[in-house]
Structure 1
Amino acid sequence: MKKVLYRHLFSKVLGFSLLLFSTSFYAQEEAASTEVVAEDVSAAGGDAAKGKQLFNQNCAACHALDRKMTGPALANVEARLAEDEGLDKEWLYTWIKNSPGMIKSGDAYAVKIYAEYNQAAMTAFPTLSDADIDDILAYTAAPPPAPVVAAVADAAGAQGDSSGGISNEIILGALALVFALLVIMLILVNNTLRRIAEANGVILEKEKAQERTPIWKAFAQNQFLVLVSAIFLLLASAYFAYGWMMQVGIDQGYAPVQPIHYSHKIHAGDNKIECKYCHSSARVSKHSGIPSLNVCMNCHKSIYEYKGNPEGPSADDIANGYTNEFYTGEIKKLYKAVGWDEENQKYTGESQPVEWVRIHNLPDFAYFNHSQHVSVAGVECQTCHGPVEEMEVMYQFAPLTMGWCINCHRETNVKVEGNEYYEAIHTELSKKYGVDKLTAAMMGGLECGKCHY
């Protein structure tokens, strides 16, 4: 027992020593990296922290530090231009503030960049001061930060868990000991009472096993019970058979795996992209339509990797494999489908079709018009499709049955404001029947021919 105690004590001391060592080592490394960054910042003549913020606000849409995008990579751009082209910082000031003017003036390197990047002039930033540009250049010259090691936090958490309170092993051991003592006491009391009874001449009769009729035989002999059970089983079978047949063709909860994983949670939720930006035909057409991949490329020409939510991935996302690397890999699938060459920032013409799996599918004999509901009635997408902004994997939210549609037509009030046609109908119904609220059902929304050909 002592060995176990010493072993636990030794492990605690060893763990605490490792924690202090790793913490001090990390602090030294962080201090060293801070000194290096400070030296780079002082050498560049700007504040890299402020420069990062300015870079993300003004430059990140077209430039990255380590790769070519709509514009060239900007890592160490000041040093590269000075070494390769002989250009000083004053040239950069002028170029950033008025790039179209430099192209028109015939500056050799400005014309070269303009021709290399599809004759698309860089946006001018006249509001940036020389100090702001110095900060941006300091950020582009600073080395990338070292990845933060999470082992220190894990060690601290483990140390906190092991040092606080009584361990579960001790509590379980104490309860097991108390239970064993109670069992022993009951056995001793039972033996003592038996000896006292035998000493006083009390004869203990043993219980005789009585022969009983088996339950199944007693059940079979009771005709009334058999009849009631048979009726109950028949009714229950009919009920479940009816429920199963009523679910035929209803795919509520259907969530197929798509060839390219698309997260509505990230696009519609985190980034607040409106549904009708991608499904634009829902405003004017019967169908909402599958967005063209060119719509995706409007953003993903510049967004080539997923850097994650600022709050970090949740435990469920990590368990399901939804990491930054996973989402970046899905963007690469998009590039392959449209034939996009990342390195040269142009289309190759070698595209591949994406076989999307349809989720919402009405019967052929049912008519539904998206534009009538979206543009005329003003129905929100979430009314039928559920909270899409929270869906990592898109699924069918509503049952889409006939009864579900009819209930909506009966209960939903029509927006008559600003629509002369509906206002006229509402006025006539109010005069004739005293109608206060106008629903689709009152305008013939329950007629068979409205939804069935």
Structure 2
Amino acid sequence: MKKVGNHTSFSRILLFCLALSLSFSLTSFAQETAAPAAAEAPAGGAAAPAAGAGDPVKGKELFNSLCAACHKLDAKSTGPALRGVADRHDRAWIYKWVHNSSEMIKSGDPAAVKLFAENNNSVMTPFPQLSEGDIDNIMAYTSMPIENGGGGGGVKAPVVDPNANGGSSNALILGALILVLGVLIVMLVLVNRTLRRVAASNGVVIVDEPRLSLWKAYAKNQFLVLVTVILLMLASSYFLYGYLMQIGVDQGYEPVQPIHFSHKIHAGDNGIDCKYCHSSARVSKASGIPSLNVCMNCHKNIAEFQGDKDSLYVDHSKEFYTGEIKKLYNAVGWDATAQKYTGVQKPVKWVRIHNLPDFVYFNHSQHVTVAGVECQTCHGPVEKMEVMRQHSPLTMGWCINCHRTTDVKVEGNEYYAKIHDELAKKYGKDKLTAADMGGTECGKCHY
């Protein structure tokens, strides 16, 4: 018998695979070490400005807690801009002004009277509790030069992606799997060639018999055709039913609003309670659209975005958020320079997100005040949403399921306590759900 030899040595294949694996590993290692090398670069923070007689760090804390409501460093607010105020007035005069500005105005001090008139006769809150050292600290902070780049404290170190190493590891695993798959393909090809050579050496003739095409064979098999038709009908019915059941369900609806309002910044980072803006949710059927006056309670003195542009809760640039605040000023008719209302207002055409059919009755106060349901139960993690969207499906099945699983809170409510005791004896259990108290009756939610 003729001896068949394998001219493609397996040792050569293994050596080739090992070399390829090593080269891939070195490439991945180089990518992984690039990020730490960039992270070790010196931040090189800007040199601290020369402080005066006070501590600018303590002064910043006092400024943010006492002064920021009416003053800004580089722009006029209710009061004048305070950067460089120590160079505009005598230090002893500033002490008297901060302790009791009204007394200085009544005494006829020319500088005090002029400053009072320039700021729309706005009376400054007296701070007799501040010592001269505290005022020196505030002036040291207001005397600091403007930093390059707007906010933040000097030059920041490069941000390193915490998932960089994990991404390289995943790429390495994926590359190894691809390599193994390639080796298996090569081995199968070699085995096929070897078998053909063995067959040829033994005089075996391989004849490729004509085969019936797959589609013709399938068409002749009546059982397979019948099963396929049944499966297609069932699948079509399933998808058709699912499509029809989604009509009118707007889960995930996320419209673009005329003024970009970030719930992530307001409710998340700043921790503003939902019911501060949607106050009618406590006492009314509807939660209500907050009036622009509610917005101006804060934004009368917040004319530009103060957050860090590199913060995790910010999705846009500082200039973008500041531009949206200017849209609010334009709508409400507020002149930030003159610090007064112009009287020219423009309506904001907000786009409604959550909308129930007209035949459905839902009362916010009954759920928020009486039941104590948190806003996130229905509206999702609002504090993490940059753009507000419909989180829940708001379908009848979703509401009924909530009524079946939510216990009624009867603490401090004599009306519910009486009904609860009667029904508890009837059903023989201590805790009653909203469904046990009639929460699944048609008339409770439908007119």
Same fold by TM-score, threshold 0.5 exceeded? yes
Corresponding residue for residue 208 of structure 1: 207
Residue correspondence of structure 1 range 189-268 to structure 2 within 5 A: 202-203=202-203, 205=205, 207-268=206-267
Corresponding residue for residue 22 of structure 2: none
Match of 1:313 among 311, 324, 330: 311
Corresponding residue for residue 108 of structure 2: 106
Residue correspondence of structure 1 range 33-432 to structure 2 within 5 A: 33-34=47-48, 37-38=49-50, 41=51, 44-81=52-89, 88-147=90-149, 148=154, 153=158, 202-203=202-203, 205=205, 207-309=206-308, 312-314=310-312, 322-432=316-426
Corresponding residue for residue 7 of structure 2: none
Counterpart Cα distance in 2 of 1:74 and 1:355? 37
Cα offset, 1:433, TM superposition: 3.9
Cα offset, 1:438, TM superposition: 2.3
* Higher relative helix content: 1
Length-normalised TM-score, structure 1: 0.78
Cα offset, 1:358, TM superposition: 0.5
Cα offset, 1:186, TM superposition: 5.9
Residues 313 and 323 in structure 1, CA contact (< 8 A), matched pair in contact too: no
Q: Deviations over 1:247-292 (max 9, x none)?
A: 1100111111111111111111111100010001111111101000
Cα offset, 1:57, TM superposition: 2.2
Q: Deviations over 1:292-343 (max 9, x none)?
A: 0110011011111112249x333x955xxx1222211111111111111111
Residues 340 and 348 in structure 1, CA contact (< 8 A), matched pair in contact too: yes
Counterpart Cα distance in 2 of 1:302 and 1:119? 17
Counterpart Cα distance in 2 of 1:395 and 1:257? 10
Residues 338 and 351 in structure 1, CA contact (< 8 A), matched pair in contact too: yes
Corresponding residue for residue 164 of structure 1: none
Counterpart Cα distance in 2 of 1:127 and 1:339? 37
Counterpart Cα distance in 2 of 1:382 and 1:376? 16
Counterpart Cα distance in 1 of 2:369 and 2:424? 25
Cα offset, 1:66, TM superposition: 1.3
Counterpart Cα distance in 2 of 1:336 and 1:283? 30
Cα offset, 1:114, TM superposition: 3.0
Q: Deviations over 1:174-199 (max 9, x none)?
A: x89x98xx89x969x969x96x998x
Unaligned ranges ≥5, structure 1: 1-11, 82-87, 162-167
Cα offset, 1:77, TM superposition: 1.3
Q: Deviations over 1:61-93 (max 9, x none)?
A: 211121100100112112223xxxxxx211110
Counterpart Cα distance in 1 of 2:353 and 2:199? 79
Cα pair distance change 1:449/1:186, threshold 3 Å: closer
Residues 424 and 432 in structure 2, CA contact (< 8 A), matched pair in contact too: no
Counterpart Cα distance in 2 of 1:223 and 1:153? 68
Structure 1 vs Structure 2: percent identity of aligned residues? 62
Cα offset, 1:393, TM superposition: 1.2
Residues 78 and 122 in structure 2, CA contact (< 8 A), matched pair in contact too: no
Residues 62 and 302 in structure 1, CA contact (< 8 A), matched pair in contact too: yes
Counterpart Cα distance in 2 of 1:416 and 1:324? 47
Counterpart Cα distance in 2 of 1:431 and 1:335? 59
Cα pair distance change 1:105/1:251, threshold 3 Å: same
Give the aligned CA root-mean-square deviation in angstroms.
Answer: 3.6
Corresponding residue for residue 14 of structure 2: none
Cα offset, 1:412, TM superposition: 1.1
Q: Deviations over 1:73-124 (max 9, x none)?
A: 112112223xxxxxx2111101101123323333333233333333331111
What's the secondary structure of 2:249's corresponding residue? coil
Cα offset, 1:350, TM superposition: 1.7
What's the secondary structure of 2:330's corresponding residue? helix
Counterpart Cα distance in 1 of 2:391 and 2:417? 33
In structure 1, what residue type is equivalent to 2:387? V
What's the secondary structure of 1:353's corresponding residue? coil
In structure 1, what residue type is equivalent to 2:368? V
Cα offset, 1:60, TM superposition: 1.6
Unaligned ranges ≥5, structure 2: 1-29, 166-171
Corresponding residue for residue 7 of structure 1: none
Counterpart Cα distance in 2 of 1:70 and 1:296? 16
Cα pair distance change 1:384/1:202, threshold 3 Å: closer
Cα pair distance change 1:317/1:97, threshold 3 Å: closer
Residues 426 and 435 in structure 1, CA contact (< 8 A), matched pair in contact too: no
Q: Deviations over 1:36-60 (max 9, x none)?
A: x22xx2xx32233332232222212
Q: Deviations over 1:119-160 (max 9, x none)?
A: 33111111211111112112222212334556x848x99xxx
Counterpart Cα distance in 2 of 1:46 and 1:433? 72
Residues 267 and 273 in structure 2, CA contact (< 8 A), matched pair in contact too: yes
